[in-house]
Amino acid sequence: MSSLFAFTLLGLFTGAAYAIMASGLVLTYATTRVFNIAHGAFGMVLAFTFWDFSQRQGLPTLLSLFLVLGVVAPAIGWGIQRFVTRGLGEGPVSVALVVTVGLLVGLIGLAQYIWPPEPRVLLPFHAETGWQVGDTYITAHQLITIICSIVVAVGLYLLLNRTRVGTAMRASVDNPELLKFFGGKPDTAAALAWAIGMSLAALAGILLTPVVGLDYYALTLLVINAYAAAMLGRLKSLPLTFAGAMGLGILESLAVAYLPTDGFWSTIRPVIPALFLFVVVVAMPQTQLRIGQVKGIIAAPVPTVRKSLASGGVLLAFAFVLIGIVSRADVLLIGVAATYAMVMLSLVLLTGYGGHVSLAQFTFAGVGALAYAKLDEPNLLGLVLAALIAAAVGALVALPVLRLTGLYLALSTLAFAVLMDKVIFQADFAFKFNGTLATERLSVFGIQIASDTAYVWFMVLAFVLMGLFLLWLRRGALGRILIATRDSPSGCGTLGLDLRWFRVGLFSLSAGMAGVAGALFSGLRGTVGAADFLYFQSLLVLLAAVVFGVTSVTGSLLGGTALMLLRSSSPELTAVLFAILGFGAVLLARDPNGTANHLFKLGRWSTNRVLPRWEEQFRERLDGLLKANRPQPARSVDVPVEAAIEEPKGVS
């Protein structure tokens, strides 16, 4: 009984920290309709800032706490609402998700650049103070955390339901025009909500740091626990959010105490928050179709069949020449770029054409790689079977959430990615923890592609074929249906289209394409393991696809090359590229065509403006040269008629 009491108290402590972070999520969503996936990343950066003030610069603890919670965090929240997330709640959910995911990745890169990796310690508040309750020792830090969570929950409830400011915050998202009519300021109310939410993220990060340490990823991804608690409260009920966070903390603590430390149950303990999130999301009520003006997204131009084939041929020829002149290490890097590019092609289908955000796309590539390795069929049949297995897993992920769209659908894929990463990929029957599986290179009609150059060129060929397939699909009737469902789900539902099963098929096909990429990648490496398919990479793939163009094959090619450079760069350069990729996604999220769209505009401008001018100048110069070198006709001399007719001399 004493151990049960001790672990329950420990669960209350962690649950209290989750409750503080989840309350900030609920506040920002309830007032702006923007689900801040980067909430934990902001808490991480602000925890590092608190360490910097209190430890490196030597400021008093209370002064450091005041500066972070009362100055730095509110200023960041105000700036983010004013310049980044303003108006996102009124647009497509996918745009808001990409913007906040971009902030998450960019903040990790920024933190690594400002505070390079090294051991850092942040001691608990009043570390020397504690009380003995029976056989359990309660620290002052744990008690402070529980008290702070109660104060935050009560304070936010009173703020939103008993004050004019809280009423203005809720009205700023429910009916901003009516709020303006009564003299309110929706933007000011939203900025205030973000300022308070950022302070709560900072407080949760500071309270959790003595437990999990000053780690870039641990603090950032702990927000998944806050997602689960916030979802239990349906992103609007603070009491349910508080109860969910406390229950989740106690459940985690009891799992550590009573679940076996070996076998299958040892893999369940780290994923309890993700499992809780997936169950809560699946149990959410059906989301309503968004009714309103049909506003389509200007997509990238679809090339003709002739132009597509010509571009594919040029790419294959260029790859053939490039692979033949670079070193073996660079050849393998080209294969890695082709892998990322093929995974991004699956996002072109799902996100660019279909409008659905997946945060588990690289996980489906891992399913394909695992199936290819386990089947031990290094041929086209094994490749097709691996793709079918990945497609089946994609359909299974979409089936439980048939009723859900937008945010809930994206969070369910994130929970699935965490479950696959921690449970399946690290199980004994799969890759095992830090283990690898040997794979063989693909053989086509009995001829094995053994050399690196030939295999990488085959991967480029697979990318070209997948790209041509997507463009063919986009030109047909199915492509027009995809664009229609993306632009107006309500209109398609009115016309009788069953969008739920259509979504399952879309997820399945997209996962199958990612599975092909994973299977080819496993053959390229010769060995493949769980570390190759961490769920965080799915966030990077999504951001690269958005930055370079999630609606075009060209964007996938550019994004795959960028991620290859990110993977092969030094740690210092990686931090900078992280920041560029993340904040680049923030800037380009409202334009799904990304960098590729600007390249297309440059190409059209050069075709319509520059080339005609050059052609005209070339013709003028050519005409001048021809005139200068053209042989001149014989010049005639005008002789007077009188002079030409002369009388013979001597004749009178």
Per-residue pLDDT reduced to its tens digit, 78-110: 999 888 888 777 766 777 888 888 888 888 888
Q: Are residues 462 and 372 in the same domain?
A: yes
- Taking alpha carbons only, the member of 556, 390, 541 closest to residue 471 is 556
In a domain, 82, yes or no: yes
In a domain, 67, yes or no: yes
What are the tokens at 539?
């966030």
In a domain, 638, yes or no: no
The pLDDT assigned to 213 comes to 83
The pLDDT assigned to 641 comes to 45
**Which amino acid makes up residue 199?**
S
Q: Could you give the count of Cα atoms lying within 13 Å of 264 in the half-sphere of its Cβ? A: 2
Q: Please report the beta strands in 230-362, taking only residues with DSSP state E, as ranges in sequence order.
A: none
Q: Which of 506, 535, 564 marks a domain boundary?
A: 535
Q: Are residues 506 and 602 in the same domain?
A: no
Helix and strand numbers (H, E) in the chain are 29, 6
Q: Which of 194, 224, 254 marks a domain boundary?
A: 224
Q: Are residues 619 and 525 in the same domain?
A: no
Q: Are residues 459 and 360 in the same domain?
A: yes
Helix (H, G, I), strand (E, B) or coil at 425: coil
In a domain, 216, yes or no: yes
End-to-end CA distance of the chain: 159
17 neighbors 186 (Cβ within 8 angstroms): no
DSSP code of residue 52? I
Q: Are residues 192 and 341 in the same domain?
A: no
The pLDDT assigned to 631 comes to 58
In a domain, 326, yes or no: yes
Q: Are residues 139 and 41 in the same domain?
A: yes
In a domain, 347, yes or no: yes
For residue 345, give its domain range.
306-535
> CB neighbours of 470 closer than 8 A, spacing ≥ 6?
345, 348, 349, 353, 553
* C-alpha to C-alpha distance for 605 and 627, rounded to whole angstroms: 32
Q: Cβ of 117: how many Cβ atoms within 10 Å? A: 11
In a domain, 450, yes or no: yes
In a domain, 172, yes or no: yes
Q: Are residues 488 and 368 in the same domain?
A: yes
Q: Which portions of the chain are predicted below pLDDT 70?
A: 1-2, 91-92, 172-183, 261-266, 284-300, 431-435, 490, 493, 498, 569-572, 589-592, 594, 597-598, 600-652
Q: Which of 494, 514, 535 marks a domain boundary?
A: 535
Q: Are residues 615 and 522 in the same domain?
A: no
Q: Are residues 219 and 320 in the same domain?
A: no
The pLDDT assigned to 612 comes to 62
Q: Are residues 516 and 605 in the same domain?
A: no
The pLDDT assigned to 173 comes to 66
Q: Are residues 509 and 612 in the same domain?
A: no
The pLDDT assigned to 581 comes to 77
- Structure confidence by residue, pLDDT tens digits, 443-474: 888 788 888 999 999 999 999 999 999 999 99
pTM of the model: 0.83
For the chain, the domain total comes to 3
Q: Are residues 59 and 176 in the same domain?
A: yes
Q: Cβ of 339: how many Cβ atoms within 10 Å? A: 30
